[in-house]
Amino acid sequence: MKARRLTRLKDYNYSQSGYYFVTICTKNREQCFGKIEDEKMVLNNYGKIAKEFWSEIPLHFEHVKIDEFRIMPNHVHGILNIEDNGVGNAYMRSLRDRTKMLLSRIVQQYKSSVTRKINSIQNEFNFGWQNSFYDHVIRNERSLDNLRRYTQNNPLRWELDIENRKNVRMSHVKGYRDYYKDIVEGCR
């Protein structure tokens, strides 16, 4: 069995305060949340559920604020701000188990809530997510601005998006890290 590549920064505390860019994809990149029409995202009922649950993240995590986010046909982009909560150091003991860090807990809860709600509505449709998620620790204002702009304009670039199933070959040629590195540095 192929070993899974770790996508998190080694020895980084994903519970500490800061901004984080997150991308979460549906299983097999199925377009479950709606479609792009005239360069705008048109949410279907499942997309509305995904949007509602993302908007509710601060209700479940007291020291977390949502920034820019976008529901796309088969993925979610979002910027989360973990505020100084005084417990970040407590999570340092969990560095070996990244699933216990705050960012992973937020994404896990979001994914499971959306999955339960969608699957409770439609019996013959078995909604799911890809394992794990992509993250980027935002380290400066320029990167934050670039990622906000990218997230806002994502529907305009759907034809070129790495998550668009039509571009599946592109995702093998240029991986997530390189693709988003260009965005963070303002090259896209």
Quote the pLDDT of residue 2. Answer: 47
Q: Do 127 and 118 form a contact (C-beta atoms < 8 A)?
A: yes
Strand partners, 70: 77
Separation of alpha carbons 95 and 185, rounded Å: 28
* pLDDT > 90: percent of the chain: 60
As separate numbers, helices (DSSP H) first and strands (DSSP E) second, the chain gives: 6, 6
Return the higher-pLDDT residue of 178 and 187: 178
Quote the pLDDT of residue 162. Answer: 73
Quote the pLDDT of residue 84. Answer: 81
Model confidence band, residue 123 (pLDDT cutoffs 50, 70, 90): low
User: What residues contact 178, with CB distance under 8 A and at least 6 apart?
Assistant: none
Q: Quick: pLDDT tens for 156-176.
A: 888 877 777 676 544 444 555
pLDDT of residue 154 exceeding 70? yes
Quote the pLDDT of residue 3. Answer: 46
| Cα 35–Cα 164–Cα 175 angle in degrees, nearest 5 | 150
For the chain, which domains are there? 18-139 (3.30.70.1290)
Quote the pLDDT of residue 14. Answer: 85
Quote the pLDDT of residue 182. Answer: 62
Quote the pLDDT of residue 178. Answer: 62
Distances (CA, A) of 64 to 55, 80, 90, 101, 179: 11, 7, 17, 13, 27
Measured from the Cβ of residue 73, the count of other Cβ atoms closer than 10 Å reads: 24
Model confidence band, residue 98 (pLDDT cutoffs 50, 70, 90): low
Letter for the amino acid at 1?
Answer: M
Quote the pLDDT of residue 21. Answer: 96
